[in-house]
Amino acid sequence: MLPIVADADMGFGTLTGCMKLTRSFVEAGVAMIHIDDLAMGLKKFTNGEGRTIVPTSEYLSRLTTVRMTFDIMGLSLEEGKKAGKDYLTVKAEWTASAGLMTFDEAVKTVATEEQYKAYIQEIGRGTVALQDRRAAAKLVTGKDVVFDWELPRTPLGQYMWQWSTKAVIDRCVLVASLGDVTWSRQGHPADKKDMQEFHAALREVYPDRLFAFGYTGAYDFSKGGYSPEEVETFPADIAKMGLVWQVQPIWATQGLSLHAKQFAEKFKKEGIAGYMRDVAAPAIAGMATDKYGKPTSRGGYLADAFFDVVGGEEITEKI
């Protein structure tokens, strides 16, 4: 694949914006970017003023920010070219070799089976701070467990976080009292059990808790362990767990994209005839009209009523 040279325009914001933009480009696999020395929002082509440039010091700051971001991410254009690896590849290799784990998993690597059971019993079922977990681990194993969550921290201050149902439950229990509804969603093919565990755990602490659920278009129910019959009864089944509001927000992109693709394929094969038969005709047949036979969805009658009012007529319903 040919290397991508991206137009970063003016950096889209402050120096922080330049930094984030550069990082996003690198993560997307862009080989090179270029930054303008123009002022934000001052491109004018109709009055002869053209473009407004920023002071040299400001432009230098932009370029320094970009260069520093490359360096922080360990990227040199020449070194990257020689190694033949992009940022995402390096990141994936590092993640595979870094041995990322939770503190409990770290305890498990140094404890015997009996010691680990004793450790879990010692910390109990509630939310336990790291310092208390350290103390419990040392009490049971007699060792200081090596664990430092600062080591894998990213240049932007982000922490690597090992996802688990327990971690999500702990977080939701802590914040539940600050809101009325807890929103959940499914994002992994094997989380049928996780979903049930999540809602049951929160209901154990807050028996009357209300929940919302967002269906995601990319979620494959069959891979999540659901039978066709379970998919049909899914809305009613999760309602029994306290999910009072269920929404499918992805149709706006997924559904329209599918229809656009189908339309394009049909238009390519059959032209306007296929469009009129399969799109226009059904749409017109089911379309509400005003007393003049015009589609009300277009709002023409509202525009006419507006002009009538401007002309001095009383406001009346004209449909």
Rounded Cα gap, residues 165 and 120, in angstroms: 16
Rounded Cα gap, residues 211 and 169, in angstroms: 13
User: Tokens in use for 27?
Assistant: 């993560």
Produce one character per residue of 262-289: b if its CB has 16 or more CB atoms within 10 Å, e if not. Answer: eeeebeeeeeeeeeeeeeeeeeeeeeee
> Are 126 and 152 contacting, i.e. CB atoms less than 8 angstroms apart?
no
304 annotated among ligand-binding-site residues: no
> Are 184 and 152 contacting, i.e. CB atoms less than 8 angstroms apart?
no
Residue 144, burial from CB neighbour count under 10 angstroms (0-12, 13-18, 19+) = exposed
Q: CA distances (Å), 283 to each of 266, 279, 297, in order?
A: 16, 6, 11
Rounded Cα gap, residues 62 and 220, in angstroms: 44
Rounded Cα gap, residues 195 and 77, in angstroms: 45
222: left (phi over 0), alpha (psi -120 to 50) or beta: alpha
Rounded Cα gap, residues 23 and 25, in angstroms: 5
Q: CA distances (Å), 92 to each of 270, 308, 310, in order?
A: 46, 65, 65
Residue among 198, 197, 174 at smallest CA distance from 184 = 198
**Which one-letter amino acid corresponds to residue 90?**
V
Which residues define the annotated binding site?
Answer: 7
Which residues define the annotated binding site for Mg(2+)?
Answer: 7
